[in-house]
Amino acid sequence: MKTKLNLESTGTPFNTLEKNVTRDHAEQNSDSSVIIRSRGSEKVTVRKWTEKKYKSKHIADALMEVAYMNEEWEWYKKYNYTKTKCLESFVTGDGKAFGHYCKKPWCPICLAIRKSIHIHQYYPIIKEWERPTFVTLTAQAQNHRDLSMWVDLLFDKLNRILEKLEMRRYRSGSEKFRCLICIECCFNPEKNWYNPHFHIVTSNYPEGRELREEWLKAFPTKLAHPVAQYIDPVRDKLKNLVEVIKYGAKILTDAETTNKGKRERLPYIYASALHEINKVFHGRKLIRKRGFKLIKNEDEIKELVIQDLQSWSYDDFVRTWVNETTGELLTAPYIPDQNLVSIYENNLDYKSR
Ligand SMILES: [Zn+2]
């Protein structure tokens, strides 16, 4: 009898530009081999994820605390899922690793996987653009009560502008307006303000300039000041793409005060602000493209026959994965450095924001 294992393959770090990942499943054969439908990825990748797993657990814990205080049980469940299910266990065989992932935007493991997938999708396109340009568009910061409505408004304004620019090009018979859009939200703890903003790459400089001009026209100056709307030609396409593909909440918030450009204290995790942003971004498409199609991934999912399957589970004490049969550790016990401990275990702020 074949057993469905409902596994997913692990992601690869974006900088290696290796094959990436998809949801998949596996079936157990009568012998010890298992058929897994997947692009597969390397077991060695998981070794690098002890730090991300440590961060993921602590962030999920902090968010659970907030959801508990707010009595928001649905959210409590979502955060608990990250803590207890994301890469808690996986199986390996033939140098590949397959496991369960939470796929939540607050999870550092899943964010890294998403980022890798997006780089694979968008880099082949953006590298062909002649003069890609990086644009940041923002408008007045808001408190948490108005944030959701404000994000609606920002998307609405941006969509109208893009439709106008697309129509302008269509009428003049020129090339389509092409861009990649990500939304991100920062939090200012001194003022309890939220600042959602767009990171956009346009395919050339005039598109970027037009976009910025139209954005400024769409808001009164006191709501969207020219100095806050940046435009910059992309110098390193891969590096800038990595910078653009930031979306969702910034998990760490730096201190505003600096001494000669140096940070005077380590960043903080404002858990309740992070939770507010998660709620506002929930169900929204945080990364969007206009005017171009994605290149079909020729890395079709293949059936892999994996021999010698081994199971590993995460152990909170050694902070790495332990072989369920042999007791072998996947990596040396993970010891976070002092700064990470300070941030993820001490610099947590739960105050309602
Ligand atoms: Zn996750």
- What's the pLDDT tens digit per position in 87-135? 999 888 878 888 889 999 999 999 988 888 899 899 999 999 989 999 9
Report the pLDDT value the prediction gives residue 254, as an integer from 0 to 100.
75
Report the pLDDT value the prediction gives residue 41, as an integer from 0 to 100.
59
Residues 173, 75: one domain?
no
Q: Which of 65-74, 175-184, 233-242, 324-333 has the lowest mean pLDDT?
A: 233-242
Across 70-82, average pLDDT: 97
Domain termination site, one of 290, 311, 334: 290
Across 167-188, average pLDDT: 93
- The Å distance, Cα 232 to ligand 1 centre, comes to 33
Across 280-304, average pLDDT: 83
Residues 64, 125: one domain?
no
pLDDT of residue 332 exceeding 70: yes
Is position 3 within any domain?
no
Residues 105, 144: one domain?
no
Q: SS3 for the chain, per residue?
A: CCCECCCEECCCCHHHCCCCCCECEEEECCCCCEEEEECCCEHHHHHCCHHHHHHHHHHHHHHHHHHHHCCCHHHHHHHHHHHHHCCCEEEEECCEEEECCCCCCCCHHHHHHHHHHHHHHHHHHHCCCCCCEEEEEECCCECCCCHHHHHHHHHHHHHHHHHHHHHHHHHHCCCCCCEEEEEEEEEECCCCEEEEEEEEEECCHHHHHHHHHHHHHHCCCCCCCHHHCEEEECCCHHHHHHHHCCCEECCCECCCCEECCEECCCCEEEHHHHHHHHHHHCCCCCEEEECCCCCCCCCCCEEEEECCCEEEEEECCCCEEEECCCCCECCCCCCCCHHHHHHHHHCEECCCC
Report the pLDDT value the prediction gives residue 240, as an integer from 0 to 100.
79
Report the pLDDT value the prediction gives residue 63, as an integer from 0 to 100.
97
Residues 131, 274: one domain?
yes
Across 40-49, average pLDDT: 72
- The Å distance, Cα 60 to ligand 1 centre, comes to 10
Higher pLDDT pick, 237 / 176? 176
Residues 170, 278: one domain?
yes
- The Å distance, Cα 193 to ligand 1 centre, comes to 27
| Domain count for the chain | 2
Report the pLDDT value the prediction gives residue 128, as an integer from 0 to 100.
92
Angle between helices 271-281 and 73-85 (to 10 degrees): 100
Is position 243 within any domain?
yes
Residues 125, 28: one domain?
no
Q: In terms of residue numbers, what domain contains 27?
A: 8-110+298-349
pLDDT of residue 297 exceeding 80: no
pLDDT of residue 337 exceeding 60: yes
- The Å distance, Cα 52 to ligand 1 centre, comes to 9
Residues 230, 192: one domain?
yes
Q: What distance in Å separates the CA atoms of residue 178 and residue 166, rounded to the nearest whole number?
A: 9
pLDDT of residue 244 exceeding 90: no
Residues 193, 264: one domain?
yes
- The Å distance, Cα 87 to ligand 1 centre, comes to 7
- The Å distance, Cα 108 to ligand 1 centre, comes to 7
Report the pLDDT value the prediction gives residue 274, as an integer from 0 to 100.
95
pLDDT of residue 280 exceeding 90: yes
Report the chain's mean pLDDT, rounded to a whole number: 85
Report the pLDDT value the prediction gives residue 32, as an integer from 0 to 100.
57
Residues 124, 259: one domain?
yes
Residues 201, 282: one domain?
yes
- The Å distance, Cα 17 to ligand 1 centre, comes to 20
Is position 201 within any domain?
yes
Higher pLDDT pick, 326 / 113? 326
- The Å distance, Cα 79 to ligand 1 centre, comes to 10
Residues 264, 190: one domain?
yes
- Band (5; pLDDT cuts 50, 70, 90): very low
- The Å distance, Cα 171 to ligand 1 centre, comes to 45
- The Å distance, Cα 322 to ligand 1 centre, comes to 19
- The Å distance, Cα 115 to ligand 1 centre, comes to 13
pLDDT of residue 62 exceeding 50: yes
Domain termination site, one of 258, 273, 290: 290
Is position 1 within any domain?
no
pLDDT of residue 38 exceeding 70: no
Across 169-195, average pLDDT: 93
Residues 201, 324: one domain?
no
Contact 21, 7 (CB under 8 A): no
pLDDT of residue 238 exceeding 90: no
